[in-house]
């Protein structure tokens, strides 16, 4: 095969003409590091990066992991805001590293990156998500119908009925909401916003028949009534779900069901 001819000036890293000014800036990533095999204490570590501010925080973490310190540990999978693996506390706010552009979070100052709060840190930015998923499983996040036969046709639904719970279908289970909730920080028994969002997704689905059961599950000492309406969850959700509103709708459904 012939060598591909490059139109560009030089493949070996010369800046292209017209791009003489480097877009790169120096950014400090201040990462909360924790390795239980080395120390019981978590510490801050600074990394200086030359990076294009239009890149994402995740790209910066990749740069560190791939080029500087391979022991840096964090979760990510899709890198495009859909798998929900890389929720972390960036500059004190829960966000997805793959959806946060460096230029949007004041790169003049060190960018702090911590694991999400309220869940046990296993290493660096990786937390134990098990209590989070336990609460998720507890609300039965799957379609429940009374008919035991296999359906012979599609379960149809009007556009309005679909619209009713559209917002809560968008959840990617990143835990940004639950780990931003001060009630959850202090008491991990609280179901947390994400579990309620995913219960809401089925409670208000006209095809589902276990709404009553799910309401009963959330009518718990550690269920919806622990919500203090602080709106941290709504602010944190990278999918823009109106989390507090969904919780409020579940509360209202519980009250109107009884009175």
Partner 1 sequence: MSTTETAAPGVGPVEGTPVYTVENPAPLIEAPRKRTKKTPKSTRGNFELAAWLFMRLSGIVLVVLVIGHLLIQLVLDGGVSKIGFAFVAGRWASPFWQVWDLLMLWLAMLHGANGLRTVINDYAERPNSRLWLKALLYTATVFTILLGTLVIFTFDPNIR
Binding residues (CB under 6 A) for ligand HEM: these are 228-229
Neighbouring residues of 22: CB distance < 8 A, sequence distance ≥ 6: 15
Nearer to ligand FES, 176 or 227 (CB): 176
Long-range contacts of residues 60-63, Cβ cutoff 8 Å, at least 24 apart: 60/27, 60/29, 60/102, 60/111, 61/29, 61/31, 61/97, 61/113
Work out the widest C-alpha separation in the chain, in whole angstroms.
79
Nearer to ligand FES, 127 or 224 (CB): 127
Count, residues near ligand SF4 per rule CB under 6 A = 15
Residue 82 binds to ligand FES (criterion: CB under 6 A): yes
How far apart are CB 222 and ligand HEM at their closest, in Å?
15
For helices 193-203 and 130-138, angle between their N-to-C axes, nearest 10 degrees: 30
Residue 96 binds to ligand FES (criterion: CB under 6 A): yes
| Piece in contact with ligand SF4 (CB under 6 A), picked from 99-107, 123-131, 207-215, 233-241 | 233-241
b/e code 160-177 from CB counts within 10 Å (16+ = b): eeeebbebbeebbbbbbb
Residue 56 binds to ligand FES (criterion: CB under 6 A): no
Count, residues near partner 1 per rule CB under 8 A = 33
How far apart are CB 135 and ligand HEM at their closest, in Å?
21
Nearer to ligand FES, 25 or 82 (CB): 82
Pick the closest to residue 243 from 231, 251, 252, 255 (CA basis).
231
Q: Which of residues 106-125 bind partner 1 (CB under 8 A)?
A: 119-120, 122
Sign of CA dihedral 150, 152, 153, 155: negative
Residue 77 binds to ligand FES (criterion: CB under 6 A): yes
Nearer to ligand HEM, 30 or 226 (CB): 226
Among 35, 42, 53, 79, binds ligand FES (CB under 6 A): 79
| Piece in contact with ligand FES (CB under 6 A), picked from 7-15, 18-26, 31-39, 70-78 | 70-78
Query: Parallel, antiparallel, or unpaired for β 126-127 and 121-123?
Result: antiparallel
SS3 label, residue 123: strand
Cα(124)–Cα(126) distance, rounded to whole angstroms?
6
| Piece in contact with ligand SF4 (CB under 6 A), picked from 6-14, 16-24, 231-239, 250-258 | 231-239
> What does the binding site for ligand SF4 look like in residue numbers (CB under 6 A)?
171-177, 193-194, 197, 236-237, 239, 241, 243
């Amino acid at each position: 095969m012939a060598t591909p001819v490059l139109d560009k000036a030089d493949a070996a890293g010369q800046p292209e003409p017209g791009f003489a000014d480097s877009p790169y800036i120096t950014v400090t990533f201040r990462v909360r590091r924790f390795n239980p095999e080395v120390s019981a204490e978590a510490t801050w570590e600074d990394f200086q990066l030359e990076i294009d501010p239009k890149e994402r925080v995740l790209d910066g973490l990749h740069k560190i992991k791939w080029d500087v310190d391979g022991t840096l540990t964090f979760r990510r999978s899709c890198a495009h805001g859909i798998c929900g693996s890389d929720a972390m506390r960036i500059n004190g706010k829960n966000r997805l590293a793959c959806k946060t552009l460096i230029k949007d979070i004041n790169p003049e100052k060190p960018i702090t990156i911590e694991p999400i709060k309220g869940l046990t840190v296993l290493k660096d930015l990786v937390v134990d998500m098990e209590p989070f998923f336990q609460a998720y499983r507890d609300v039965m996040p799957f379609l429940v119908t009374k008919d035991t036969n296999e359906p012979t046709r599609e379960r149809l639904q009007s556009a309005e009925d679909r619209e009713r719970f559209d917002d809560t279908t968008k959840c990617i289970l990143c835990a940004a909401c639950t780990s931003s909730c001060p009630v959850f920080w202090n008491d991990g028994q609280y179901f947390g916003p994400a579990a309620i969002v995913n219960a809401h997704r089925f409670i208000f689905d006209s095809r589902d028949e276990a709404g009553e059961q799910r309401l009963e599950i959330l009518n718990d000492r550690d269920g919806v009534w622990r919500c203090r309406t602080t709106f941290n969850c709504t602010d944190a959700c990278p999918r823009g779900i109106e989390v507090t509103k969904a919780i409020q709708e579940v509360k209202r459904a519980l009250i109107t069901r009884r009175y």
